[in-house]
């Protein structure tokens, strides 16, 4: 049995001007709405895993769905909001009124989230609980269909991978956050 976790492609949103935290929330909405760049080539391991998967899941965000279709245009996908990326806290404008690049805001808000700040989003414990539920769903399908792929998101895929390891699945130890990256996990009985 095998479960492959694939990170979506690079977003078509290229805006990278410095913005306030409040503006960052709108930037994230645009990021979620945009699709992904079509590449001239994709990693061979990623292509192999999505082509050989008997079931392909994605989150319901456009970048995940489009990525799955670019990797394998003929596959049927099961779209489920369970696999959405972990949202970042919002309304941190009272904490900071400075302008930063979106990538810096993402790091600052993720650090705050790890420290317990989860205003208007799921907490770390809630995200771990959802990752447990997501990993169990993938395991259930792997038990039935032997090979499953998820085209999802970097951080949430990492939480799922951690949960799979806790449940005895063996796979990639090194986390590579690059777009189109694939981590595969197996369970040998």
pLDDT computed for residue 92 by the predictor: 61
**Which residues make Cβ contacts (< 8 Å) with residue 162, sequence separation at least 6?**
131
β 77-79/147-152 pair status: unpaired
**Which residues make Cβ contacts (< 8 Å) with residue 125, sequence separation at least 6?**
none
List the chain pLDDT tens, one digit each, 189 residues: 999 999 999 999 988 999 988 888 889 889 988 889 999 999 999 999 999 999 999 999 999 999 999 999 999 999 999 999 988 887 665 556 788 899 998 998 899 888 988 887 899 999 999 999 999 999 999 999 999 999 999 999 999 999 999 999 999 766 667 899 999 999 875
Strand partners for 19: 100
For 182, the token pair is 């694939």
Domains in the chain (CATH in brackets) are: 2-186 (3.40.50.1240)
pTM here is 0.92
For 149, the token pair is 């792929």
Tens of pLDDT, residue by residue over 46-83, are 999 999 999 999 999 999 999 999 999 999 999 999 99
């Amino acid at each position: 049995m095998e479960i492959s976790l694939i990170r979506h492609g690079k977003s078509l949103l290229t805006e990278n001007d410095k913005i306030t935290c409040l503006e960052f929330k709108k930037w994230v909405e645009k990021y979620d709405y945009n699709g992904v760049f079509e590449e001239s080539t994709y990693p061979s391991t990623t292509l192999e895993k999505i082509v050989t998967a008997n079931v392909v899941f994605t989150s319901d965000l456009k970048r995940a769905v489009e990525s799955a279709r670019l990797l394998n245009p003929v596959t049927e996908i099961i779209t489920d909001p369970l696999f959405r990326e972990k949202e970042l806290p919002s309304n941190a404008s009272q904490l900071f009124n400075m302008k930063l690049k979106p990538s810096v805001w993402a790091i600052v808000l993720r650090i705050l989230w790890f420290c317990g700040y989860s205003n208007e989003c799921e907490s770390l414990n809630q995200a771990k609980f959802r990752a447990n539920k997501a990993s169990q769903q993938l395991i259930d399908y792997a038990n039935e269909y032997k090979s499953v792929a998820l085209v999802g998101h970097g951080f949430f895929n990492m939480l799922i991978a951690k949960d799979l390891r806790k449940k005895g699945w063996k796979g990639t130890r090194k986390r590579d956050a690059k777009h189109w990256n694939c981590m595969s996990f197996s369970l040998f009985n």
